[in-house]
Amino acid sequence: MEKSKTAFKAGRPYDIIKRRKEAGYVRSGLSGGKETDMTEKEKMLRGELYRTSDPELVAEHRRALRLCREYNDIDPMDDAEMDRVIRELVNVEGKQVTVKQPIRFDYGCHTYFGENVFINYGVNILDVCDVRLGDNVLLGPNVQIIAATHPTDPKIRLMGLECGKPVTIGANVWLGAGVTVCPGVTIGENTTIGAGSVVTKDIPANCVAVGNPCRVLKKV
């Protein structure tokens, strides 16, 4: 009888990862059965296991912390300075963007805003993978968009390895107050997500969805 893929003995960290790769659970740097030479950042953006302690990632995270603090300390009446700093922190592809203080980003450089994005107070975006907000997206207060996740296998978690999945919010979407969007989720255009919802799976376009877990309530 073929042994279960999940049945493996405890061993050294390298041996654990090797067995997980052979079982098809880990894709870290594999190409045609061979290891590829990727940086930790490249692994992170591909949704593969990576180490947050990597010096390049540490430097980019500290940059985001500095810019978030700078943004949060700006006089809220100084629109020009707020616009300058938010464009330094994230990728703003449109001419108009409004982001209320305070803000928190993991990296900032992996987040993309379309035209006329409006973000209310207290946004929290963990952008270890790409986070994309389309044109005319509205975020209510205290919205969380979480691209970061962790292995469910505790042995791998204890090795200090993390991973992520990209998040995409379509054009004209409204996320109500306190919405949490989980890793790997895509929300289709024109959709409304009710306040307090936890979005764990993709939500289609042109609907209203609510709840924990978030489910489609009606089409619009």
Query: What stretches in the chain show pLDDT beneath 70?
Result: 1-36
Determine the Cα–Cα distance for residues 42 and 143; give it in Å rounded to an integer.
27
List, by residue number, the catalytic residues.
Answer: 150
Q: What is the pLDDT of residue 29?
A: 43
Is residue 26 situated within a structural domain? Answer: no
- Residue 148 and residue 168 in contact, taking contact as beta carbons nearer than 8 Å: no
Is residue 130 situated within a structural domain? Answer: yes
Full residue range of the structural domain in which residue 200 is found? 38-219
Q: What is the pLDDT of residues 108-147, one digit of tens each?
A: 999 999 999 999 999 999 999 999 999 999 999 999 999 9
Tokens 């870290």 sit on residue: 28
Q: What is the pLDDT of residues 36-50, one digit of tens each?
A: 589 999 999 999 999
Is residue 14 situated within a structural domain? Answer: no
* Structural domains counted in the chain: 1
Q: What is the pLDDT of residue 20?
A: 45
Is residue 16 situated within a structural domain? Answer: no
Phi first, then psi: what are they for 71, rounded to 5°?
-65, -45
Is residue 187 situated within a structural domain? Answer: yes
Q: What is the CATH number of the domain that holds 146?
A: 2.160.10.10
Is residue 5 situated within a structural domain? Answer: no
Q: What is the pLDDT of residue 170?
A: 98
Q: What is the pLDDT of residue 8?
A: 31
Determine the Cα–Cα distance for residues 156 and 17; give it in Å rounded to an integer.
8
Is residue 8 situated within a structural domain? Answer: no
Q: What is the pLDDT of residue 119?
A: 98
Is residue 162 situated within a structural domain? Answer: yes
